[in-house]
Amino acid sequence: MKIFLICFIFLSSLFAKDENKIVVAGPIATVSHPIFHMIQNDVLKDIGKKIEFRLWNNPDELRAIILKGDADFIALPTNVASNLYNKGVNLKLLNVSVWGILQMISRDSNLKSIKDFKDKEIVIPFRADMPDIVFQELAKKSGLNPKKDFKIQYVANPVDAMQMLILRRVDHALLAEPAVSIALRKTKSFPVKLVAPELYRSVNLQEEWGKLFNVEAKIPQAGLAYIGDTKGKEELINKFLIEYEKSLSWYKQNPKEAATLVVKNLPMLDVEGLADSIEHVVFENIKAQDAINDLEFFFGILKENDAKLIGGKLPNKELYYK
């Protein structure tokens, strides 16, 4: 019995959570990138914490991380935060920092609106993920049927969509930055030279959203959330948000250095393309409480067309961290 207890205590210590480690789970997307600057600068050392980044590649991986309790903070699309919250996950949306990363990219320079893509084959990464969601809503608002009026081909991830463009297997794709800028670099379509570019930036989905819905040309697309009870964690959360904003500012102002740092951690990206992309992303670090109107407008549109995208209903105000 004594040996059993010793073994149990030993094994428990091996698997016990390190209270000094703060795990942030995030996607390859732009919302995660400032976190690498936070890690590099050891920004939580004043409160005795170290940050560790954990990549999630798809919603299933994200759910597994949450269910196992493997993360403290997560970077995620805003509708996923609503979906998880409405399904009973104890989380608080802290902020919205990414308001514009979506762009159509095409070999045809004459396509200027969603309507211009009617009857064309379009590659989109992830069915029912943020790019697909916004595209579907814009198509419907333009009087088109997304299932009948476009030949949509879904692929597993943005890298696959980008590769299909580069290999000339498709002519049109919907991508999020930095994939747009990386594709332009890979095909030598940017910087523009004497030879006509192979690919063009086409419809900016945020601008199209603004025109069609008669609102500002931005969409509350991604931010940070805290998993678990926030009571007693206010110092940590507030410090994390302050440092995230500082690192986001550095990221915007130092694109080459930022791109180099991110690619060290996410080597599947490209330094030049990532550096190019930063000026094309709409960054605005807004507290979730201050972004409620924008979030509820966005969620309301999603609810009208497919309530499952936000977990069946508009989330109540308890989702938003105060």
pLDDT, tens digit (0-9, with 9 covering 90-100), for 6-37? 444 444 434 445 778 999 999 999 999 999 99
- Hey, what are 271's tokens? 């330094």
Q: Which domain holds residue 124?
A: 102-213
What pLDDT, on the 0 to 100 scale, is given for residue 208? Answer: 97
What pLDDT, on the 0 to 100 scale, is given for residue 6? Answer: 45
Q: Are 204 and 126 in the same domain?
A: yes
Domain count, the chain: 2
Q: Is 5 inside any structural domain?
A: no
Last residue of a domain, one of 145, 179, 213: 213
What pLDDT, on the 0 to 100 scale, is given for residue 71? Answer: 97
Angle at 273 (CA atoms; ends 81, 130), nearest 5 degrees: 20
Spans in the chain with pLDDT lower than 50: 2, 5-16, 194
What pLDDT, on the 0 to 100 scale, is given for residue 196? Answer: 58
Q: Are 68 and 143 in the same domain?
A: no
CA 163 to chain centre: 20
What pLDDT, on the 0 to 100 scale, is given for residue 15? Answer: 46
What pLDDT, on the 0 to 100 scale, is given for residue 190? Answer: 74
pTM of the model: 0.89
What pLDDT, on the 0 to 100 scale, is given for residue 232? Answer: 94
Last residue of a domain, one of 213, 234, 256: 213
Q: Are 46 and 129 in the same domain?
A: no
Q: Is 86 inside any structural domain?
A: yes
What pLDDT, on the 0 to 100 scale, is given for residue 195? Answer: 56
Q: Are 284 and 230 in the same domain?
A: yes
Domain with residue 112: its CATH number is 3.40.190.10
What pLDDT, on the 0 to 100 scale, is given for residue 129? Answer: 86
pLDDT tens string 101-130:
999 999 999 999 999 999 999 999 888 889
Contacts 24+ apart (CB under 8 A), 299-307: 299/78, 299/79, 299/82, 301/137, 301/213, 302/79, 302/133, 302/137, 305/136, 305/137, 305/140
Last residue of a domain, one of 150, 179, 213: 213
